[in-house]
Structure 1
Amino acid sequence: MLRLGLSQYIPYTIYGLSFVVALTAFFYRREIGILFIAFFLPVYVVLHKALTLDLPFANDIVDFVLIGMILGGLVQSGREDQKPAVGQSPQIWLIILFVGYSLISYLSGSFYLGGDFMSDVNYQRLADWKNYMIVPLLYILTYYTLRERKWKYALFLLLFVSFIAMDLKFKETFRWFQHTRYAHENRVDGTFGFLNGNAFAAFHVICTLFLVSMFLMDRHFRRRIAYGLLIVGGVFCILYSYSRGAYVGFAAGLVFIALVRSRKLLIPLFLFLLVWKVVVPSSVVDRIEGTFVENDGRAGVISVGGTNLETAYRSEIWKEALSIFSANPVMGTGFRTFYEKTGWDTHNQYLKTLSEQGVIGLLIYLVLYQRAFMSGWRLYKGGDEDLLRAFGFSFVCAVVGSMVVNFFGDRWTYLQIGGIYWIAWALVDQENSRIALERQVEGSRLEGEAMETIGVEGSVAEARVQGSKGSSELPQNI
């Protein structure tokens, strides 16, 4: 971005920095590891270049940082006692169930694919499963590590910088293409490495809905400026991602915000629906209406990270997913087996989960959403600060956005999309636990004071009774 010709050295810098961060997280402060990973998630393409360097352990640098944080909990046990207490995570058993069942699904999928656990296919599936499990691990590490307010502020400041860089990079790439009318080859994929523009847009839907809610509820002037800048960048990226699933997800999230916070907001939304063809760019209108100016037809297939995605005939893929589910309804065929058998992605995370992990897997998936929604709602209603109540409701809106965009593809299993979502969930649960503990301590204190007061009053009453008895016996003794 500074145009100094240093871009080629950035991956090597990140590679070296990752080992420094891992050692720092191990010996000094585990929070450094979370900040390092979170910062690179929106600009994952930069981290991906470091991961693919032809250097020792380059592909494992994120794992080293995570291991440094995990082992750092043992080395830094004395410092942990100085942090605010939060108690056990309310989601710990659900996460254990989620991870355990996912592992079982991976193993059953290996048998479904032939039972050769050492094959290239199953090795790749294992790598995908391990990367998938990083997101719940981020939740646990964030919940038990990032407990001091100063580190949370540092996290949000770094994410602000990362989001700005992500949006500027998209805009810089976008200007090299012609966008007067829609053409599929002119779509910009964004900063998520091997993931395409649809995934990039889904990420922006989730985050921008969060930011819109924060802008509406947080009255702090300078923070609102920051929210506004990120909202403008997010809407720009959503608009020119040409992702119809993202359009639906963003619209659904805005309607949810309007219904819950202020129904007056429904009026501008309704007016926009009446005149949207005049307001939005013509290329976006083409995309929404399904018009492809060039080639005069619909695109049939695009490839994302080696996975073929069906765009024009996805209903046939959905039928195939339901057919596989009907043959294996309880546990499905196993983690990441649909692609290995068909060569296609389901283009719907709910159907992917249903076909690969069965009814059990889908129920766990839905419960994760339900618990995340309730976590945000609980902080929204019970937070002890206006900022925390805004944070809780904003996370609820992010959950709603995630639920919608996952109808149009896998926006759940990838670290670069889900990492910040799980970090935010951990912070929401952490605040809920802190508030509950403080209220419990306060309740115990008040109960102790009440018992002490009752004890004192009882002693005074007893003394009065004894005094009255003594006065009645006085004449007899005389």
Structure 2
Amino acid sequence: MIPFLPYRTMRDHFLDYPLGGNVLTILVFAVIVGALIKGKSIPKSPLYPLWLMFGIYLYLTMWVGSALGTAPPPIWIDDQNFAAWKDYILIPLIFAATGMVVEDRKAVRMVIMLTAFSLLAIDKSCLLESMSRSWGSFDENKRSVGPLGYGSNQTAAFLAQFAVFFWGFAQFVKKMKLKLIFYGLVALTIFADLYTFSRGSYVALIVSVVILGLLKDRKLIVIAAVFLLTWQAIVPTAVRERVDMTHNSNGKLEDSAQERITLWKDAEESIISYPIFGIGFASFALSTHFDGLRDTHNWYVKVMVETGIVGTIFVLVLLQQMLAVGYRLFKRAEDPLYRGLGLGLFLAMCSCVVANLFGDRWTYLEITGLLWVLVAISIRALQLTETEAATEAAIPEVTTPTNPFLAYR
């Protein structure tokens, strides 16, 4: 199932076959059913009941939206808001499926390797697409939808997340050959991300690298500072032009940045009007806003508009728990595999938190599906770590009786 999670354009090849559009859903349910038949269960974690309550709450908010007249009743699969909710709920099902079937260190290692393989496939697709065009100067029309199938910004968020994940993971790889392979994957992913021309992903990368410097390698802080001072002389011309587009020659915000400010002002009015429960999940896109746009271009604003204060609390707790899982594993584990997994997950989550400031990078299964797989195996790794520690503590210390005749020799 893992390689299919981010690679939407590969899944699209199944559309010509019966139930081809539901291939991922079928795979997820097949894993869950198979696990249940074999008596598997999910590990203990507050994230599982939290997702259950959050999913139910999101569905109820859609009925609030229906009562307000902002959305249709969420009954039929043809209803846009219900379809969005159904697709979103597939994410926690993937999380649960992974938690059920990953039970030991070997499986954890296998999942990480499959994640690396999936990232390499995405990198290859991105680079082949980018390098097929001339980038002597930036041109918005040349940006592709990418292998995730939703656009360059979404692909960029995915690449930034997993570039820093494997950067953190590589810190604890002992074999030099493997370490170089992982660093090569990181470099390739950053290069692919560079040519997505997503300014939000650039910020997410820089913030995550600084955090890596604070947690593990202080030299990276100096490197990041030098880069910020010299980036215009280092990056390709097209990338520099893209970053400089934030403001025009008159010092005003360029069109896309100005659109976001206008959207946020509209969203502010909606938040003030419906602060507790919002206007209903997936309801913002059902009405037309400034310049025909249907997204807030900031996921946190979108959560507040659609699900209110209650939904925002759910989201903040989810993010806190995900960060905590990675950090605890990084700090508590003795096994280098687990420590690298924990640090990598924490960095990927930091990248995710920053990237969502620039748009919805959360509800797309293609972006966060693999991230939740890593959360699930991190919870299992944390459980294995605690079990091993408890087992060692329970083993009584064996004392060797002293031979009295030898004690005075």
Q: Same fold (TM over 0.5)?
A: yes
User: What is the aligned-residue RMSD (CA, Å)?
Assistant: 2.5
1:345 aligns to 2:300 (yes or no): no
1:72 alignment partner AA: G
CA distance in 2, matches of 1:143, 1:433: 11
Q: What do residues 448-467 of structure 1 show as CA deviations (whole Å, max 9, x unaligned)?
A: x89xx9xxxxxxxxxxxxxx
1:40 aligns to 2:4 (yes or no): yes
Q: Which residue of 1 aligns with 2:45?
A: 89
Q: How high is the sequence identity, in percent, across the aligned residues?
A: 28
CA distance in 2, matches of 1:280, 1:116: 48
Q: Which residue of 1 aligns with 2:278?
A: 332
CA distance in 2, matches of 1:150, 1:75: 22
Deviation at 1:444, TM superposition (A): 4.6
Q: Which residue of 2 aligns with 1:204?
A: 159
Deviation at 1:263, TM superposition (A): 2.4
Give the counterpart of 1:243 among 188, 198, 220.
198
1:165 aligns to 2:151 (yes or no): no
1:57 aligns to 2:12 (yes or no): no
Q: Which residue of 2 aligns with 1:135?
A: 91
SS of the equivalent of 1:422 reads helix
Map 1:271-290; keep pairs closer than 5 Å: 271-290=226-245
Gaps of 5+ in 1: 1-35, 301-309, 454-478
Q: Which residue of 2 aligns with 1:434?
A: 384
Structure 2 contact 212–347 (Cα < 8 Å) conserved: yes
Q: Which residue of 2 aligns with 1:406?
A: 356
SS of the equivalent of 2:358 reads coil
Q: Number of paired residues?
A: 392
Map 1:389-428; keep pairs closer than 5 Å: 389-428=339-378
2:18 alignment partner AA: P
1:164 alignment partner AA: L
Deviation at 1:363, TM superposition (A): 1.1
Q: What do residues 251-285 of structure 1 show as CA deviations (whole Å, max 9, x unaligned)?
A: 11111111222323222211112211111111111
SS of the equivalent of 2:308 reads helix
Deviation at 1:167, TM superposition (A): 1.3
Deviation at 1:170, TM superposition (A): 1.5
Question: Residues 45 and 96 of structure 1: is their aligned pair in 2 closer, same or farther, counting only changes over 3 Å?
Answer: same
SS of the equivalent of 1:345 reads coil
Question: Residues 253 and 444 of structure 1: is their aligned pair in 2 closer, same or farther, counting only changes over 3 Å?
Answer: same
Deviation at 1:331, TM superposition (A): 0.8
Structure 1 contact 201–241 (Cα < 8 Å) conserved: yes
Q: Which residue of 1 aligns with 2:405?
A: none
Question: Residues 109 and 222 of structure 1: is their aligned pair in 2 closer, same or farther, counting only changes over 3 Å?
Answer: farther
CA distance in 1, matches of 2:311, 2:208: 26
Structure with larger Rg: 1
Q: Which residue of 2 aligns with 1:305?
A: none
Deviation at 1:113, TM superposition (A): 3.4
Give the counterpart of 1:191 among 147, 164, 168.
147
CA distance in 2, matches of 1:238, 1:367: 29
Moved more, 391-400 or 255-264: 255-264
Moved more, 118-127 or 230-239: 118-127
1:396 alignment partner AA: F
Gaps of 5+ in 2: 400-409
CA distance in 2, matches of 1:393, 1:86: 23
CA distance in 1, matches of 2:247, 2:327: 42
Moved more, 266-275 or 215-224: 215-224
Q: Which residue of 2 aligns with 1:472?
A: none
Give the counterpart of 1:361 among 299, 306, 311.
311
Map 1:216-235; keep pairs closer than 5 Å: 216-235=171-190
Give the counterpart of 1:263 among 195, 200, 218.
218
Question: Residues 165 and 105 of structure 1: is their aligned pair in 2 closer, same or farther, counting only changes over 3 Å?
Answer: same
Q: What do residues 13-71 of structure 1 show as CA deviations (whole Å, max 9, x unaligned)?
A: xxxxxxxxxxxxxxxxxxxxxxx2x1122322111332x32x33222222222222222
Could you state the TM-score of these two structures normalised by the residue count of structure 2?
0.89
Map 1:272-311; keep pairs closer than 5 Å: 272-290=227-245, 300=255, 311=257
2:276 alignment partner AA: V
CA distance in 1, matches of 2:74, 2:319: 34
1:319 aligns to 2:274 (yes or no): no
Moved more, 104-113 or 222-231: 104-113
Deviation at 1:366, TM superposition (A): 0.9
CA distance in 1, matches of 2:240, 2:71: 49
Moved more, 204-213 or 59-68: 59-68
Deviation at 1:157, TM superposition (A): 3.0
CA distance in 1, matches of 2:74, 2:234: 55
Deviation at 1:442, TM superposition (A): 4.2
Q: What do residues 136-160 of structure 1 show as CA deviations (whole Å, max 9, x unaligned)?
A: 1111111121113333333333333
Q: What do residues 107-128 of structure 1 show as CA deviations (whole Å, max 9, x unaligned)?
A: 3223333674378896222111
Structure 2 contact 32–100 (Cα < 8 Å) conserved: no
CA distance in 2, matches of 1:118, 1:43: 28
Deviation at 1:431, TM superposition (A): 1.1
Question: Residues 319 and 383 of structure 1: is their aligned pair in 2 closer, same or farther, counting only changes over 3 Å?
Answer: same
Structure 1 contact 189–241 (Cα < 8 Å) conserved: no
Question: Residues 94 and 218 of structure 1: is their aligned pair in 2 closer, same or farther, counting only changes over 3 Å?
Answer: same
